[in-house]
A and B are shown apart, each in its own frame.
Chain A
Amino acid sequence: MQDWPLFEVFIRSKNGLSHKHVGSLHAADAHMAMQNARDVYTRRNEGVSIWVVEARHITASDPEDKDALFEPASDKIYRHPTFYDLPDALKHM
């Protein structure tokens, strides 16, 4: 059980529109990871849907690259949708 891979767990809550990362766990395979996620992360009625993904399949950005990746966006406030009126029909923005 020492060599069980790490899985990342994402839960969609009752009112949520998207899955949110809630934590990680160990399991022998995806099927067990799903059961474990149910037992570890939805005990208090937190979710209506679970995603599990083996952590090694996630490609993460390097914290070292933080400035190059994100700094350029910080002074471009015109990219925020606050400069025009949203039509009423548009939900979830």
Chain B
Amino acid sequence: MQEFTRQSILILADNLMILGQRLGEWCGHGPILEQDIALTNIALDLIGEARNYYQYLAETEGKHEDDYPMLRDAREFKNVLLTEQPNGHWGDTIARQFLFDCFHFHLLEHMVASSDQRISAIAKKSVKEAAYHLSFSGDWVIRLGDGTEDSHQKIQRSVNKFWPYWMEMFTPTEAEQHAIQEGILPDLNKVYEAASSKLESVLAEATLIKPEGQHSRKGGKEGFHSEHLGYILAEMQYLQKSYPGASW
């Protein structure tokens, strides 16, 4: 496997693994039992999707799928910064999820046509789950935005807070650019157009204002992370680091 393909797959996989881990933190803490289950369902979907990519890498590199999430250091993780941001309150988690889902669903929709058959197959399988995630998070953005005065203000602040992380998802790294040329990844400009139009229609229905400004935080896809990732990995990798090779 070419290095640019490997790097591109790690971005896909790490995004899902880290966001899945983040959502998992809600388990037992959801505002109501039903939403608790809904979020942990999504967490499991994302981790399951991440496994598909890790398995693909493991097979071509003669490793075990767990080696990727459990044995790498923060610098080697390629997830976008959005996915590692703390859960905050319910509205924060929903806003973060909605921005990611807008990207992720439309990415998969286009990635079904990937020139890499394995990636195309993974996209085909994941896109149904992603469609549900997007409808879940989008519905909640509308509920909160078009809800009470308080919920409206809170979700607007949450959207504003995560806005600087929006563009990183659509800005290709050198490796991704190469993968796009080879038809392995879809054109991220097209993904951006589709994701933006979905985002705008949901924000409008939610009576929310689309944040202005091009200022964007990035670096995650190159391995430059915020302080938060270290804490996520410390918790996630604790067992493997304390008891190397432990299994059950």
Contact = CB atoms under 8 A, between A and B. Distances in A.
Interface of A: 1, 4, 25-28, 31-32, 35-36, 39-40, 43
Contacts, number: 30
Interface residues of B, number: 12
Nearest to A1: B32
A1 B33 CA distance: 11
A61 B239 CA distance: 55
A36 B41 contact: no
Contact of B139 (A26, A35, A39, A40): A35
B131 to A, nearest CB: 13
Interface string B34-46: 1101100100000
A27 B37 CA distance: 13
B143 A39 contact: no
A40 B143 contact: no
Contacts of A31: 139
A40 B40 CA distance: 11
B31 interface: yes
Interface in B114-149: 135-136, 139, 143
B31 A35 contact: no
A38 B136 CA distance: 11
Given A25-B34, A27-B34, A43-B41, 19 more contacts: A1-B31, A1-B32, A4-B32, A25-B33, A26-B33, A26-B34, A28-B143, A31-B139, A32-B139, A32-B143, A35-B38, A36-B34, A36-B35, A36-B37, A36-B38, A39-B38, A39-B41, A40-B33, A40-B37
